[in-house]
Chains A and B, each alone.
Chain A
Amino acid sequence: KNEVEQSPQNLTAQEGEFITINCSYSVGISALHWLQQHPGGGIVSLFMLSSGKKKHGRLIATINIQEKHSSLHITASHPRDSAVYICAVRRGGTSGSRLTFGEGTQLTVNP
């Protein structure tokens, strides 16, 4: 079992829909990252959070440390949001600088 599990693996939505991508992890962490990867490989960091909630534009990320769960929400989705969204956790303790990545969620937003 992977230490970081994302769901769903693939998601297709219509433009304007509210989207939720989930991430569950099984290890103690000091921070969780949400990343966006467009075709061609470029990865952009969206959020880094260790508690609560963060919002940037139409993107909202939440984390529940007790439940070891995080969600990424996209409001009013747009075709340009189509990308792979990756959850990554930074483990606590001596391996605290290493990120462990989920396998990603492929999001396709149709016009």
Chain B
Amino acid sequence: EAGVVQSPRYKIIEKKQPVAFWCNPISGHNTLYWYRQNLGQGPELLIRYENEEAVDDSQLPKDRFSAERLKGVDSTLKIQPAELGDSAVYLCASSSRGGADTQYFGPGTRLTVL
């Protein structure tokens, strides 16, 4: 069974540029999570989807961050414009039964903003 797929694995951009990350969850997983992990810290939830509905986006900086999961399968996280402080690893995870089940993480996208 394929795991959670993310792309790109690495991205380097200049500040004020836009950037997008893509995630394809494990087949059949209805719940999808986007996390941000700063160096030396644990992941921090940005947004959680149940199918195509964003059910927890309270920690998503909505002035510059946006996300979508139009068909309830794969998802895109966008930052526009990126700031220096956005440099981090962006992790996608999925689970089959929402918060009650184990989350499976993708390899992450390491973003560097110059």
Complex Cα–Cα for A78 and B37 (A): 27
Complex Cα–Cα for A4 and B42 (A): 10
B2 to chain A, nearest CB (A): 14
Q: Among A42, A48, A88, A96, which residue has the most Cβ atoms of chain B within 10 A? A: A42
A98 touches B107 (CB 8 A): no
CB contact under 8 A between A98 and B45, given known A41-B107, A48-B102: yes
Q: Which of A70-87 contact B (CB under 8 A)?
A: 86
* A27 at interface by CB-CB < 8 Å: no
CB contact under 8 A between A96 and B99, given known A41-B89, A43-B105, A45-B104: yes
CB-CB nearest in chain A for B110: A41
Chain B residue contacts of A4, Cβ below 8 A: 42
Complex Cα–Cα for A42 and B31 (A): 19
B107 touches A101 (CB 8 A): no
Complex Cα–Cα for A101 and B91 (A): 13
Chain B residue contacts of A95, Cβ below 8 A: 56
Chain B residue contacts of A42, Cβ below 8 A: 105-108
CB contact under 8 A between A98 and B105, given known A41-B91, A41-B110: no
Interface 1/0s, chain A 32-66, versus B by CB < 8 A?
01010000111111001000000000000000000
Of B42, B91, B108, the residue contacting A103 (CB under 8 A) is: B42
CB-CB nearest in chain B for A106: B40
CB contact under 8 A between A45 and B103, given known A86-B42, A97-B56: yes
A97 touches B99 (CB 8 A): yes
A2 to chain B, nearest CB (A): 9
B43 touches A101 (CB 8 A): yes
CB-CB nearest in chain A for B99: A97
Chain B residue contacts of A43, Cβ below 8 A: 43, 91, 93, 105, 108
Q: Which 10 A-B pairs have the closest CB atoms?
A: A97-B99, A101-B42, A41-B108, A43-B105, A45-B102, A42-B107, A41-B89, A101-B43, A103-B41, A103-B42
In the complex, besides A41-B108, A97-B99, 8 extra interface pairs with C-beta distance below 8 angstroms are A42-B105, A42-B106, A43-B93, A97-B56, A99-B45, A103-B40, A103-B42, A104-B42
